[in-house]
Amino acid sequence: MNKKEESLPYDPETLRRIQNHPCFSQEARHLFGRCHVAVAPICNIQCNYCIRDFDCVNESRPGVSSEILTPETALKRIDAVVSKMQHIRVVGIAGPGDPLANQETFETLRLVHEKYPDIILCISTNGVLLSDKIDELERYNVRNITVTLNAIDASIGEKIYTFVEYQGKRYTGREAADLLLNRQIQGIAEAVKRGMLVKINTVYIPGINDKHIPEIAKKVGEMGVFNFNIIPLIPQYKFKDINPPTPQEKIRMHEMCAPYVRQMRHCQRCRADAVGMLGKDVQNQFSSDSIFWRDRIEELVEWNGFKSRGNFPNFGSCMHWYIGIGCHFINFGECK
C-alpha cells in the first residue's frame, strides 16, 4: 500500500459507517455480506463495454441478473436472505440498468427502509441523475453511493459511450460525453457535500482511458470521495476486441492512483443480483421460484403439524411436495 494512502485518516464517524460494509472496508469483507436486488432494468446510457440483456447463472459481472424483481418480490427476497444469513448487513441496488432511471428503485428503498431501518442501503449509478434524485436517496437514508466515472475528459468519454439520455432527449458523440461528465461531477460533489460516502468505479480500458486513470483519481480525491475502485475491462460489445489489463497492470495502476485517493483492491465485479460474502455468492438459492416454493412447503409443513411435534425438516431448496385430492401430503423422502 502506498504510504500516502496509508496516511489517509478515518474519522470515528466514518469508521462506524464503513465497518459493516464489505465494499467500503477491506476488513468488513471477511465478516459481512450483501444482498443485491435487481429491480432496475432501464439504463439511460449505453457504454461500449456493457451488455445487459445476457444472463448466465455462472457469469459474474455487472449488468447480469437472472431475473428482474418487483419492489415487493425484492422485499421477499431480502426477508429470505436475512432470515438465513445473519451476516448480511447491506442491501444494494446496482442494476442491471441504472437504479436512478427506474422508479422501482425508490419504492424498493422505501419498503426496505421501513422494514429494516438499521440495514445499510446503497446504490451504484452512472451519475446522470444523481443530483436530481439525491433528495429521494436521503429520504430513505441511502448514505453509500458508487458512481462509475470512466473519464474526466470528454474527448476520451466519447470513445466510451454510444449515447446518453437525459430529460427525454438522446445525446451522442462529444455532446453526450460533455453532458455525462458535467452531470457526474455535479452529482458526486453534491453527494460528498451531504456527507455521503462515495466510491468511484473506473473501468480500466487499455488504449482508451488507461493513461487517463490517474487524472481521474486525482480529481475525485480532491473532491473528497471515500475510495476508488479500478475494474479491469471485460471485453464485450464494441470493446470485445480489446485485451483486458493484466493483474500486474491493475496493481501498477492502483499504485499510480494511491497518492490521490484511498484504493479499493478487493472488488469482485458483482452481479446485479449477488447475495452473500464477496466472492462467495449464493444468489441461486434465493431466486423468486425458490422463495415461492419454500414458502409453500413451510405452509404445508405447518398445516400438517410438523412444527408442533418438533419435527420440522431441513428441506433447503427441496421442492418435492404433492397435493392429493381432498388432502395434502408431503413427501420428504428426497429432502436432504
Q: Residue 151 pLDDT more than 80?
A: yes
The per-residue b/e assignment along 299-328, b for 16 or more CB within 10 angstroms, e otherwise, is: ebbeeeebeeeeeeeebeebeebeeeeeee
Chain segment 219-246, per-residue pLDDT in tens:
999 999 999 999 999 999 999 999 999 9
Q: Please, are residues 276 and 253 in contact by the beta-carbon 8 Å criterion?
A: no
Q: How many CB atoms lie within 10 A of CB 263?
A: 21
| Domains of the chain, earliest start first | 3-283 (3.20.20.70), 289-329 (no CATH)
Reported as a single tens digit per residue, the pLDDT across 28-44 is: 655 577 788 999 999 99
Q: Which residue has the higher pLDDT, 126 or 36?
A: 126
Lowest mean pLDDT among 36-45, 126-135, 208-217: 36-45
Q: How many CB atoms lie within 10 A of CB 115?
A: 12
Owner of C-alpha cell 443480483 = 273
pLDDT digits (tens, 9 = 90+) for 92-102: 998 899 999 99
User: What cell was used for 324?
Assistant: 392429493
Out of 8-12, 145-149, 151-155, 288-292, least confident range: 288-292
Percent of the chain with pLDDT over 70: 68
CA gap 159, 173 in Å, rounded: 8
Query: Quick one: pLDDT band at residue 162, thresholds 50, 70, 90?
Result: very high
